[in-house]
Amino acid sequence: MKDVAGHVVLLRGANVGGKNVFKVAPLMKKLAALDIVNLGAAGTFIVRAKVSPARIRRELEAALPFKPRMSIVTAKEIVELVESEPFKNVKFVPHKLRGWAAVLEGPAKARPKLPIEKRPGALWSVRFERVAGRFALGIWRRPAAGGFVFPSDVVERAMGVSATTRFWETLVRLAALISSRRRQGP
């Protein structure tokens, strides 16, 4: 596992609801020196260049038309988390039952008793189950009566620290991209 290099960047609240909007292609062009790979439109990137998180942050802040909130983790952390199979016994249903992981932005100010379940209706829609290193993990279920609880909100209230969330399928795709690059070589 030590041959996994690079970083993963997760922007928070980018290209959502008409706020913090950016166009992917021009951004990739501006950040070419970082050897950056984009995944989706929400601001999920793999940085393959051997650069520091501080440089990644500076360059993204300079290139984006808004002040971004972001989490930066090593590619190795993403691959190790996915390989640990934290949802091995859960059967996900697209857009109805999904796993999620939130990157904690610092040390927790509180250690809540887990699991925590939050809901807008009668059944929980976010279940915060555990913490693994820098990641909070849980399950999201589409509420039957509408409404939406986002996992980051639950984690932040419970732990007193900012967190940036992605659904599990995004992390699986990131790990696959990182691992395929590792097998192919530079």
pLDDT in tens, 80-123: 999 999 999 999 998 889 999 999 999 999 999 999 998 766 67
Contact predicate 134/100, CB 8 Å: no
The answer on pLDDT for 57 being more than 70 is yes
Contact predicate 75/7, CB 8 Å: yes
The stretch 5-29 carries a mean pLDDT of: 90
- Which pLDDT belongs to residue 50? 95
pLDDT band for 182, please (50, 70, 90 cuts).
Answer: low
Could you tell me the residue ranges of all domains in the chain? 7-80+172-184, 82-168
- Which pLDDT belongs to residue 121? 61
- Which pLDDT belongs to residue 74? 97
pTM of the model: 0.90
Q: What is the dihedral of CA 108, 112, 113, 117, to 10 degrees?
A: -110
- Which pLDDT belongs to residue 146? 67
Tell me which CATH homologous superfamily contains domain 7-80+172-184.
Answer: SP0830-like domains (3.30.70.1280)
Q: Pick the residue with more confidence: 41 or 52?
A: 52
Dump strand ranges (E) for the chain. 7-12, 36-38, 44-47, 69-74, 97-104, 116-118, 126-132, 135-141, 163-167
Residues 6+ apart with CB under 8 A from 93: none
Cα Dmax for the chain:
51
pLDDT in tens, 119-158: 766 678 899 999 999 999 999 998 776 677 889 999 999 9
pLDDT band for 184, please (50, 70, 90 cuts).
Answer: low
